[in-house]
Amino acid sequence: MARIAWYSNSCAIPSGYGQQSAQVLHRMVKDGHEVALTANHGAQVMMNCAHGHIILPEGLMRYSIDAAPENMRAWFENRKDAFGVVLFDLWPLVGVDAFKDLNLACWTPVDHQPAPPLVAKFLKDGGHHAIAMSRFGEQMLLDAGQPRAELTYIPHAIDRTVFSDMGKDARSAMGFEPDDFVVVTNAANRGRIPVRKGFGSMADAMSRFMADRKDVKWMLHTEPNGHSEGVNLPRLMTAVGIDAQRVRYPHPVHWRNGIPDTAIAAMLSASDVQLLTSMGEGFGIPAVEGMSTGTPCVVSDFSAQAELIGPHSHKVKVQREWDEFQVSFFAIPNVDEIYKALQAVYEETKAGKVDRAAVRAATEQYEADTVYEQSWKPLIELMTARTKQPAQPQPNRAQRRAKR
């Protein structure tokens, strides 16, 4: 059995990274592997997970870059079958030399085209194995020079026994009528420059759609006021002319204290379409969760999100947008195309032509047990047998001049 150190959000919190950490780690423990999670968020003190592994606390520096390499090295105990997994963005880790000599597999999001240079640099400088969350990310990493032998594709996963079609009963709790056409957006409200989740484009399209269709209501499952350096959504609704009475947000107490997956599944099941036209996604787990309940999805035709959708769902045209911070391109969805996609789902829904079972069936490949058996078990074998190649030292300025 392997000895594995995992660096990401704590599996005790309901963030995207936290949920993915829990799914994989708990299955690793069940398989008999020795596992420790070194947290960069969600663990102020050391904890013992009920599933049988320890959760090491956050460090003093941002992203726990002081604690994580030391925790991994101590956990490995010089064992040849030991390796680490990084489930996090790689660009903040560039320059942290303590990661370089560790045997790491980096499960990293790529939501730009091309892959941001700092992502490729971290992998190259450390000679690390890469795990792509999407086929899009896989191709971007190959284009950036990641060796094929040092690259594995493993998608994010969900528990489809939880995310199943639970019917429309949750509409009353959401404040909607049985005959309303309900649009839901489940997206983290973080980021202003750029607004990665594309709230402005979505609101612009929804303003036009709601003006045409008086039975349309919008559930935004997010923190609405922009407290995490996000967008003030009520102010945005006013700016585009959307009636505040037709928009719902989570109750602040529920949002702060945590909303169980079963409640999210009920909300998605009670909806008619998910609107998730972001500027870029490393994966896009809300789209898969929604489709697993039978709810079609409208996404941007860019990055990972475009490869997720199935029957009755739509991907809308985009134009690329330069992101100076990442030195690469995001994408802006076309508002007219969003409007047309929403109209198409509306017409199909009202005509009774949406086959929700077919929408759900398209998510079978993302079932957590399936992904673990087909992808994580081979990855564990690969990493325990891997002989880490030392990174090639980069020539200094004098050496580069001498070669000229």
Residue 396's pLDDT is 52
Length of the chain: 404
Residues 152 and 226 in one domain: no
Residue 253's pLDDT is 84
Q: Are the CB atoms for 376 and 311 separated by under 8 Å? A: no
Residues 249 and 285 in one domain: yes
231 domain residue, yes or no: yes
Q: Are the CB atoms for 206 and 218 separated by under 8 Å? A: yes
Q: Hey, which residues does 217 pair with through a beta bridge?
A: 182
Residues 140 and 44 in one domain: yes
229 domain residue, yes or no: yes
Cα angle, residue 401 at apex, residues 398 and 402 outer, rounded to 5°: 85
135 domain residue, yes or no: yes
The single-letter code of the amino acid at 218 is W
86 domain residue, yes or no: yes
Residues 56 and 126 in one domain: yes
Residues 147 and 203 in one domain: no
17 domain residue, yes or no: yes
Residue 400's pLDDT is 47
Indicate the number of domains in the chain: 2
Residues 308 and 359 in one domain: yes
330 domain residue, yes or no: yes
Residues 196 and 322 in one domain: yes
| CATH code where residue 38 lies | 3.40.50.2000
- Segments forming the whole domain that contains residue 122: 3-157+367-385
Residues 204 and 243 in one domain: yes
Residues 231 and 350 in one domain: yes
90 domain residue, yes or no: yes
Q: Are the CB atoms for 262 and 293 separated by under 8 Å? A: no
The β-bridge relationship of strands 216-221 and 181-186 is: parallel
Distance CA 380, CA 233 (A): 43
Residue 228's pLDDT is 87
Residue 393's pLDDT is 53
Distance CA 246, CA 262 (A): 24
Question: How many other CB atoms sit within 10 Å of the CB of residue 221?
Answer: 24
Residues 79 and 138 in one domain: yes
Cα angle, residue 277 at apex, residues 194 and 244 outer, rounded to 5°: 85
Residue 259's pLDDT is 87
166 domain residue, yes or no: no
Residues 67 and 143 in one domain: yes
Output the tens digit of pLDDT for each of the chain's 404 residues: 899 999 999 999 888 999 999 999 999 999 999 999 999 999 999 989 989 999 999 999 999 999 999 999 999 998 988 999 999 999 999 999 999 999 999 999 999 999 999 999 999 999 999 999 999 999 999 999 999 999 999 999 999 999 999 999 999 999 999 999 999 999 999 998 899 999 999 999 999 999 999 999 999 999 999 998 999 999 999 999 999 999 999 988 887 788 899 999 999 999 999 999 999 999 999 999 999 999 999 999 999 999 999 999 999 999 999 999 999 999 999 999 999 999 999 999 999 999 999 999 999 999 999 999 999 999 999 999 997 655 555 555 555 455 55
Residues 380 and 311 in one domain: no
